[in-house]
Structure 1
Amino acid sequence: MTSGAHSLDRTTNPELWAYLESLRVGEILTGKVAAIERFGVFVALDDGPAHPLFPGVGFITVPELSWHRIEAVEEVVEVGQSVACEFLQFDDWNLEARLSLRALRPDPFQEFADRTPVGTRLAGRVTKLLPFGVFVRVADGIEGLVHLTELTWTPVENPEDVVRVDDEIAVVVTEIDLERRRLALSLRQASPPG
Protein backbone atom coordinates (compact mmCIF):
# COMPACT_ATOMS: atom_id res chain seq x y z
CA MET A 1 0.00 0.00 0.00
CA THR A 2 1.40 3.40 -0.97
CA SER A 3 1.45 6.28 1.47
CA GLY A 4 -1.29 8.10 -0.52
CA ALA A 5 -3.71 5.15 -0.41
CA HIS A 6 -6.62 4.90 1.95
CA SER A 7 -9.09 2.25 3.04
CA LEU A 8 -11.20 2.68 -0.11
CA ASP A 9 -8.56 1.52 -2.57
CA ARG A 10 -9.18 -0.79 -5.51
CA THR A 11 -7.67 -3.93 -3.92
CA THR A 12 -9.82 -3.87 -0.76
CA ASN A 13 -13.06 -2.93 -2.61
CA PRO A 14 -12.87 -4.54 -6.08
CA GLU A 15 -16.65 -5.07 -6.45
CA LEU A 16 -17.42 -1.44 -5.57
CA TRP A 17 -14.73 -0.11 -7.93
CA ALA A 18 -16.00 -2.30 -10.77
CA TYR A 19 -19.60 -1.18 -10.21
CA LEU A 20 -18.73 2.53 -10.09
CA GLU A 21 -16.47 2.30 -13.14
CA SER A 22 -19.31 0.64 -15.09
CA LEU A 23 -21.61 3.67 -14.63
CA ARG A 24 -22.01 6.17 -17.47
CA VAL A 25 -22.63 9.91 -17.13
CA GLY A 26 -26.33 10.60 -17.65
CA GLU A 27 -27.40 7.08 -16.66
CA ILE A 28 -30.55 6.92 -14.48
CA LEU A 29 -30.05 5.13 -11.15
CA THR A 30 -32.67 4.28 -8.54
CA GLY A 31 -32.34 3.73 -4.83
CA LYS A 32 -33.54 4.68 -1.38
CA VAL A 33 -32.46 7.67 0.69
CA ALA A 34 -30.26 6.05 3.34
CA ALA A 35 -29.16 9.10 5.35
CA ILE A 36 -29.56 12.86 5.32
CA GLU A 37 -26.66 15.15 6.24
CA ARG A 38 -26.49 18.93 6.11
CA PHE A 39 -24.11 18.67 3.11
CA GLY A 40 -26.22 16.21 1.13
CA VAL A 41 -27.97 12.87 0.93
CA PHE A 42 -26.64 9.30 0.85
CA VAL A 43 -28.54 6.94 -1.45
CA ALA A 44 -28.42 3.13 -1.21
CA LEU A 45 -28.59 2.20 -4.90
CA ASP A 46 -30.95 -0.62 -5.89
CA ASP A 47 -28.44 -2.36 -8.13
CA GLY A 48 -25.22 -1.31 -6.39
CA PRO A 49 -23.08 -2.95 -3.72
CA ALA A 50 -22.95 -1.74 -0.13
CA HIS A 51 -20.40 0.93 0.80
CA PRO A 52 -17.74 0.03 3.41
CA LEU A 53 -17.97 3.41 5.23
CA PHE A 54 -21.07 5.35 4.15
CA PRO A 55 -24.80 4.56 4.39
CA GLY A 56 -25.00 4.42 0.59
CA VAL A 57 -22.89 4.31 -2.56
CA GLY A 58 -24.82 7.21 -4.13
CA PHE A 59 -24.46 10.79 -2.94
CA ILE A 60 -26.46 13.91 -3.86
CA THR A 61 -24.98 17.29 -2.89
CA VAL A 62 -27.47 19.92 -1.69
CA PRO A 63 -27.39 21.99 -4.94
CA GLU A 64 -28.25 18.84 -6.96
CA LEU A 65 -31.40 18.16 -4.90
CA SER A 66 -33.58 20.92 -6.33
CA TRP A 67 -33.63 23.78 -8.83
CA HIS A 68 -34.97 25.98 -6.02
CA ARG A 69 -32.98 27.30 -3.07
CA ILE A 70 -33.74 25.15 -0.08
CA GLU A 71 -33.27 25.81 3.62
CA ALA A 72 -33.18 22.15 4.67
CA VAL A 73 -32.62 18.89 2.79
CA GLU A 74 -35.79 17.49 4.38
CA GLU A 75 -37.83 19.91 2.22
CA VAL A 76 -36.97 17.67 -0.75
CA VAL A 77 -36.38 14.10 0.49
CA GLU A 78 -36.79 11.93 3.58
CA VAL A 79 -34.98 8.82 4.78
CA GLY A 80 -36.46 5.69 3.20
CA GLN A 81 -37.84 7.54 0.17
CA SER A 82 -37.30 5.93 -3.24
CA VAL A 83 -35.56 8.23 -5.71
CA ALA A 84 -34.45 8.17 -9.34
CA CYS A 85 -31.32 10.20 -10.06
CA GLU A 86 -28.97 10.98 -12.91
CA PHE A 87 -25.37 9.79 -12.54
CA LEU A 88 -22.97 12.75 -12.72
CA GLN A 89 -19.56 11.31 -11.88
CA PHE A 90 -17.56 8.66 -10.08
CA ASP A 91 -15.94 10.18 -6.99
CA ASP A 92 -12.93 7.87 -6.78
CA TRP A 93 -11.70 9.33 -3.48
CA ASN A 94 -14.88 8.59 -1.51
CA LEU A 95 -15.87 5.67 -3.77
CA GLU A 96 -19.32 7.01 -4.44
CA ALA A 97 -21.59 7.78 -7.36
CA ARG A 98 -22.30 11.51 -7.45
CA LEU A 99 -25.96 11.90 -8.37
CA SER A 100 -28.46 14.61 -9.31
CA LEU A 101 -32.12 14.55 -8.35
CA ARG A 102 -32.86 17.90 -10.02
CA ALA A 103 -31.48 16.77 -13.41
CA LEU A 104 -34.59 14.61 -13.87
CA ARG A 105 -36.95 17.51 -13.18
CA PRO A 106 -37.73 20.39 -15.52
CA ASP A 107 -35.49 23.42 -14.97
CA PRO A 108 -37.85 26.26 -13.97
CA PHE A 109 -35.37 28.86 -15.27
CA GLN A 110 -35.27 27.17 -18.69
CA GLU A 111 -39.07 26.91 -18.73
CA PHE A 112 -39.34 30.60 -17.78
CA ALA A 113 -36.88 31.58 -20.53
CA ASP A 114 -38.77 29.48 -23.11
CA ARG A 115 -42.07 31.24 -22.45
CA THR A 116 -40.81 34.76 -21.61
CA PRO A 117 -39.10 36.72 -24.38
CA VAL A 118 -36.96 39.78 -23.70
CA GLY A 119 -39.27 42.81 -23.61
CA THR A 120 -42.02 41.02 -21.67
CA ARG A 121 -43.67 43.08 -18.95
CA LEU A 122 -44.18 41.18 -15.66
CA ALA A 123 -45.45 41.82 -12.16
CA GLY A 124 -43.08 40.95 -9.35
CA ARG A 125 -42.29 41.34 -5.67
CA VAL A 126 -39.10 43.00 -4.40
CA THR A 127 -37.17 40.41 -2.34
CA LYS A 128 -33.85 42.09 -1.57
CA LEU A 129 -32.23 45.54 -1.73
CA LEU A 130 -28.49 45.82 -2.44
CA PRO A 131 -26.25 48.83 -3.13
CA PHE A 132 -26.21 48.05 -6.89
CA GLY A 133 -29.91 47.25 -7.34
CA VAL A 134 -32.85 45.13 -6.23
CA PHE A 135 -33.91 41.52 -6.68
CA VAL A 136 -37.47 40.90 -7.81
CA ARG A 137 -39.31 37.55 -7.78
CA VAL A 138 -41.27 37.31 -11.04
CA ALA A 139 -42.30 33.62 -10.84
CA ASP A 140 -41.99 30.70 -8.42
CA GLY A 141 -38.26 30.21 -7.89
CA ILE A 142 -37.35 32.89 -10.47
CA GLU A 143 -35.70 36.12 -9.34
CA GLY A 144 -34.10 38.81 -11.47
CA LEU A 145 -31.96 41.87 -10.83
CA VAL A 146 -33.11 45.40 -11.50
CA HIS A 147 -29.79 47.24 -11.66
CA LEU A 148 -29.64 50.65 -9.96
CA THR A 149 -29.51 52.31 -13.42
CA GLU A 150 -32.76 50.52 -14.41
CA LEU A 151 -34.80 51.65 -11.38
CA THR A 152 -35.79 55.11 -12.61
CA TRP A 153 -35.25 57.45 -15.56
CA THR A 154 -33.37 59.88 -13.30
CA PRO A 155 -30.24 58.66 -11.46
CA VAL A 156 -30.66 57.42 -7.88
CA GLU A 157 -27.99 56.44 -5.37
CA ASN A 158 -30.00 54.14 -3.10
CA PRO A 159 -32.58 51.53 -4.14
CA GLU A 160 -34.58 52.26 -0.98
CA ASP A 161 -35.32 55.73 -2.38
CA VAL A 162 -37.45 53.98 -5.02
CA VAL A 163 -38.71 50.64 -3.63
CA ARG A 164 -38.89 48.58 -0.46
CA VAL A 165 -38.77 44.82 0.19
CA ASP A 166 -42.20 43.24 -0.48
CA ASP A 167 -43.27 46.04 -2.85
CA GLU A 168 -45.26 44.75 -5.83
CA ILE A 169 -43.83 46.33 -8.98
CA ALA A 170 -44.03 46.04 -12.77
CA VAL A 171 -40.79 45.22 -14.58
CA VAL A 172 -39.64 44.48 -18.13
CA VAL A 173 -37.31 41.57 -18.97
CA THR A 174 -34.14 43.04 -20.51
CA GLU A 175 -31.84 39.99 -20.62
CA ILE A 176 -31.98 36.25 -19.95
CA ASP A 177 -28.60 34.53 -19.49
CA LEU A 178 -29.29 30.79 -19.52
CA GLU A 179 -25.67 29.77 -19.00
CA ARG A 180 -25.22 31.85 -15.84
CA ARG A 181 -28.92 31.52 -14.88
CA ARG A 182 -29.31 35.28 -14.56
CA LEU A 183 -32.29 37.44 -15.34
CA ALA A 184 -31.98 41.21 -15.89
CA LEU A 185 -35.04 43.37 -15.36
CA SER A 186 -35.94 47.05 -15.69
CA LEU A 187 -38.39 49.02 -13.57
CA ARG A 188 -37.95 52.23 -15.57
CA GLN A 189 -38.81 50.54 -18.90
CA ALA A 190 -42.09 49.37 -17.33
CA SER A 191 -43.07 53.00 -16.69
CA PRO A 192 -42.41 55.57 -19.43
CA PRO A 193 -40.59 58.76 -18.36
CA GLY A 194 -42.96 61.26 -16.90
Structure 2
Amino acid sequence: MFGRTENPELWTFLESLHHGEILSGTVAAIERFGVFVALDDGPDHPAFPGVGFITYPELSWRRFEAASDVVRVGQRVSCEFLQFDTWNAEARLSLRAAQPDPFQAFADRTEMGQVLHGQITGLVPFGAFVRVADGVEGLIHLKDLAQRPVASLEDSVQVGEEVTVAVVEIDRARRRLALGRLQPTPRT
Protein backbone atom coordinates (compact mmCIF):
# COMPACT_ATOMS: atom_id res chain seq x y z
CA MET A 1 0.00 0.00 0.00
CA PHE A 2 2.84 2.41 0.83
CA GLY A 3 5.39 0.97 -1.59
CA ARG A 4 7.53 2.82 -4.08
CA THR A 5 5.60 1.51 -7.10
CA GLU A 6 2.15 2.41 -5.69
CA ASN A 7 3.22 5.88 -4.52
CA PRO A 8 6.19 7.06 -6.64
CA GLU A 9 5.65 10.79 -5.93
CA LEU A 10 5.57 10.18 -2.17
CA TRP A 11 8.71 8.01 -2.22
CA THR A 12 10.62 10.45 -4.43
CA PHE A 13 9.78 13.27 -2.03
CA LEU A 14 10.76 11.31 1.09
CA GLU A 15 14.01 10.06 -0.44
CA SER A 16 14.99 13.64 -1.29
CA LEU A 17 14.98 14.74 2.37
CA HIS A 18 18.18 15.04 4.42
CA HIS A 19 18.68 14.46 8.14
CA GLY A 20 18.61 17.81 9.96
CA GLU A 21 16.71 19.62 7.21
CA ILE A 22 14.04 22.02 8.53
CA LEU A 23 10.58 21.37 7.08
CA SER A 24 7.46 23.50 7.52
CA GLY A 25 3.86 22.45 7.55
CA THR A 26 0.55 22.45 9.34
CA VAL A 27 -0.55 20.15 12.14
CA ALA A 28 -3.15 17.94 10.42
CA ALA A 29 -4.16 15.61 13.27
CA ILE A 30 -3.32 14.79 16.87
CA GLU A 31 -3.55 11.11 17.76
CA ARG A 32 -2.76 9.16 20.94
CA PHE A 33 0.48 7.91 19.34
CA GLY A 34 1.73 11.15 17.77
CA VAL A 35 1.05 14.16 15.57
CA PHE A 36 0.60 14.20 11.79
CA VAL A 37 1.91 17.18 9.84
CA ALA A 38 0.90 18.12 6.31
CA LEU A 39 4.21 19.35 4.89
CA ASP A 40 4.18 22.45 2.69
CA ASP A 41 6.24 20.90 -0.10
CA GLY A 42 5.13 17.31 0.39
CA PRO A 43 2.52 15.29 -1.44
CA ASP A 44 -0.59 13.90 0.24
CA HIS A 45 -0.23 10.59 2.05
CA PRO A 46 -2.50 7.77 0.79
CA ALA A 47 -3.66 6.79 4.31
CA PHE A 48 -2.55 9.36 6.89
CA PRO A 49 -3.60 13.00 7.42
CA GLY A 50 -0.05 14.14 6.64
CA VAL A 51 3.25 12.85 5.28
CA GLY A 52 5.11 14.15 8.36
CA PHE A 53 4.88 12.50 11.78
CA ILE A 54 6.08 13.63 15.23
CA THR A 55 6.25 11.11 18.08
CA TYR A 56 5.36 12.42 21.55
CA PRO A 57 8.99 12.54 22.82
CA GLU A 58 9.93 14.74 19.85
CA LEU A 59 7.20 17.34 20.50
CA SER A 60 8.86 19.35 23.27
CA TRP A 61 11.81 19.59 25.64
CA ARG A 62 9.32 20.33 28.41
CA ARG A 63 7.12 17.81 30.19
CA PHE A 64 3.48 17.86 29.04
CA GLU A 65 0.32 15.89 29.70
CA ALA A 66 -1.23 15.88 26.21
CA ALA A 67 -0.01 16.78 22.72
CA SER A 68 -2.67 19.49 22.66
CA ASP A 69 -0.64 21.23 25.40
CA VAL A 70 2.11 21.72 22.78
CA VAL A 71 0.37 21.97 19.38
CA ARG A 72 -3.12 22.32 17.96
CA VAL A 73 -4.67 21.20 14.68
CA GLY A 74 -4.14 23.90 12.06
CA GLN A 75 -1.02 25.31 13.75
CA ARG A 76 2.00 26.11 11.57
CA VAL A 77 5.19 24.32 12.66
CA SER A 78 8.82 24.07 11.61
CA CYS A 79 10.42 20.71 12.37
CA GLU A 80 13.72 18.99 11.86
CA PHE A 81 13.69 15.94 9.58
CA LEU A 82 14.97 12.88 11.46
CA GLN A 83 14.47 9.96 9.07
CA PHE A 84 12.41 8.39 6.30
CA ASP A 85 10.16 5.75 7.86
CA THR A 86 9.95 3.31 4.94
CA TRP A 87 7.40 1.08 6.71
CA ASN A 88 4.77 3.86 6.95
CA ALA A 89 6.14 5.97 4.08
CA GLU A 90 6.36 9.08 6.22
CA ALA A 91 8.87 11.70 7.31
CA ARG A 92 9.73 11.33 11.00
CA LEU A 93 10.06 14.84 12.42
CA SER A 94 11.17 16.57 15.60
CA LEU A 95 9.54 19.79 16.74
CA ARG A 96 11.81 20.03 19.80
CA ALA A 97 15.03 19.74 17.76
CA ALA A 98 14.10 22.99 16.01
CA GLN A 99 13.96 24.76 19.41
CA PRO A 100 16.68 25.57 21.95
CA ASP A 101 17.14 22.95 24.68
CA PRO A 102 16.39 24.63 28.03
CA PHE A 103 18.46 22.02 29.86
CA GLN A 104 21.67 22.92 28.01
CA ALA A 105 21.10 26.66 28.61
CA PHE A 106 20.50 25.88 32.30
CA ALA A 107 23.69 23.78 32.48
CA ASP A 108 25.69 26.65 30.92
CA ARG A 109 24.74 29.01 33.74
CA THR A 110 24.67 26.59 36.69
CA GLU A 111 27.50 25.34 38.89
CA MET A 112 27.90 22.29 41.12
CA GLY A 113 26.78 23.11 44.66
CA GLN A 114 24.69 26.07 43.49
CA VAL A 115 21.61 26.63 45.66
CA LEU A 116 18.28 26.79 43.80
CA HIS A 117 14.63 27.07 44.72
CA GLY A 118 12.08 24.85 43.04
CA GLN A 119 8.75 23.11 43.24
CA ILE A 120 8.10 19.39 43.68
CA THR A 121 6.45 18.17 40.46
CA GLY A 122 6.30 14.43 41.01
CA LEU A 123 7.02 11.63 43.43
CA VAL A 124 8.51 8.28 42.39
CA PRO A 125 9.61 5.33 44.52
CA PHE A 126 13.25 6.46 44.38
CA GLY A 127 12.79 10.19 45.00
CA ALA A 128 11.11 13.44 43.99
CA PHE A 129 11.30 15.54 40.85
CA VAL A 130 11.78 19.28 41.29
CA ARG A 131 11.26 21.99 38.65
CA VAL A 132 14.16 24.42 39.08
CA ALA A 133 13.74 26.40 35.85
CA ASP A 134 11.34 26.56 32.92
CA GLY A 135 11.66 23.20 31.17
CA VAL A 136 14.24 21.87 33.67
CA GLU A 137 13.56 19.29 36.35
CA GLY A 138 15.99 17.48 38.60
CA LEU A 139 15.75 14.53 40.96
CA ILE A 140 16.28 14.51 44.71
CA HIS A 141 17.16 10.91 45.55
CA LEU A 142 15.06 9.30 48.28
CA LYS A 143 18.01 9.21 50.71
CA ASP A 144 18.42 12.99 50.40
CA LEU A 145 14.78 13.96 50.97
CA ALA A 146 14.50 13.87 54.75
CA GLN A 147 16.87 14.35 57.68
CA ARG A 148 15.52 11.19 59.32
CA PRO A 149 13.93 8.02 57.88
CA VAL A 150 10.25 8.34 56.99
CA ALA A 151 7.54 5.73 56.47
CA SER A 152 6.57 7.09 53.04
CA LEU A 153 7.77 9.72 50.62
CA GLU A 154 4.64 11.79 51.24
CA ASP A 155 5.75 12.17 54.89
CA SER A 156 8.70 14.28 53.75
CA VAL A 157 7.42 16.21 50.67
CA GLN A 158 4.24 16.90 48.72
CA VAL A 159 3.69 17.67 45.04
CA GLY A 160 3.50 21.46 44.71
CA GLU A 161 5.71 22.11 47.74
CA GLU A 162 8.46 24.70 47.40
CA VAL A 163 11.92 23.40 48.33
CA THR A 164 15.50 24.62 48.46
CA VAL A 165 18.02 22.35 46.75
CA ALA A 166 21.69 22.22 45.82
CA VAL A 167 23.05 20.98 42.50
CA VAL A 168 24.82 17.64 43.03
CA GLU A 169 25.45 16.62 39.41
CA ILE A 170 24.67 17.85 35.89
CA ASP A 171 24.77 15.19 33.16
CA ARG A 172 24.51 17.10 29.86
CA ALA A 173 24.58 14.04 27.61
CA ARG A 174 21.68 12.31 29.39
CA ARG A 175 19.94 15.60 30.30
CA ARG A 176 19.83 14.64 33.99
CA LEU A 177 20.12 16.84 37.03
CA ALA A 178 20.81 15.39 40.49
CA LEU A 179 19.79 17.56 43.43
CA GLY A 180 20.21 17.46 47.18
CA ARG A 181 17.58 18.94 49.46
CA LEU A 182 18.68 21.67 51.80
CA GLN A 183 16.76 21.52 55.05
CA PRO A 184 15.42 24.82 56.36
CA THR A 185 17.38 26.25 59.25
CA PRO A 186 15.26 26.26 62.42
CA ARG A 187 14.44 29.76 63.66
CA THR A 188 15.16 30.59 67.25
- Normalised to the residue count of structure 1, the TM-score between the two structures is 0.86
Which of the pair has more CA radius of gyration?
1
Q: After the TM superposition, which residues 25-174 of structure 1 pair with which residues of structure 2 at under 5 Å, given as runs?
A: 25-152=19-146, 155-157=148-150, 158-174=152-168
Aligned-partner Cα distance in 2 for 1:79–1:188: 44
- Aligned-pair CA distance for 1:14: 1.4
AA aligned to 2:2 is L
- Give the stretch that moved more between structures: 21-30 or 47-56: 47-56
Confirm or deny: 8 A CA contact 1:172 1:189 kept in the other structure: no
Confirm or deny: 8 A CA contact 2:28 2:49 kept in the other structure: yes
Confirm or deny: 8 A CA contact 1:32 1:79 kept in the other structure: yes
Aligned-partner Cα distance in 2 for 1:62–1:172: 31
* Structure 1 segments unaligned to the other structure (5+ residues): 1-6
Confirm or deny: 8 A CA contact 1:150 1:189 kept in the other structure: no
- Aligned-pair CA distance for 1:45: 1.0
1:187 is paired with a residue whose SS is strand
Instruction: Indicate the percent of aligned positions where both proteins have the same amino acid.
Output: 66
Name the CA shift for 1:185/1:24 in 2 (closer, same or farther; >3 Å).
same
Give the match for residue 4 of structure 1. Answer: none
1:34 is paired with a residue whose SS is strand
Q: How many residues align?
A: 184
Aligned-partner Cα distance in 2 for 1:190–1:37: 45
* Structure 2 segments unaligned to the other structure (5+ residues): none
- Normalised to the residue count of structure 2, the TM-score between the two structures is 0.88
Aligned-partner Cα distance in 1 for 2:148–2:20: 49
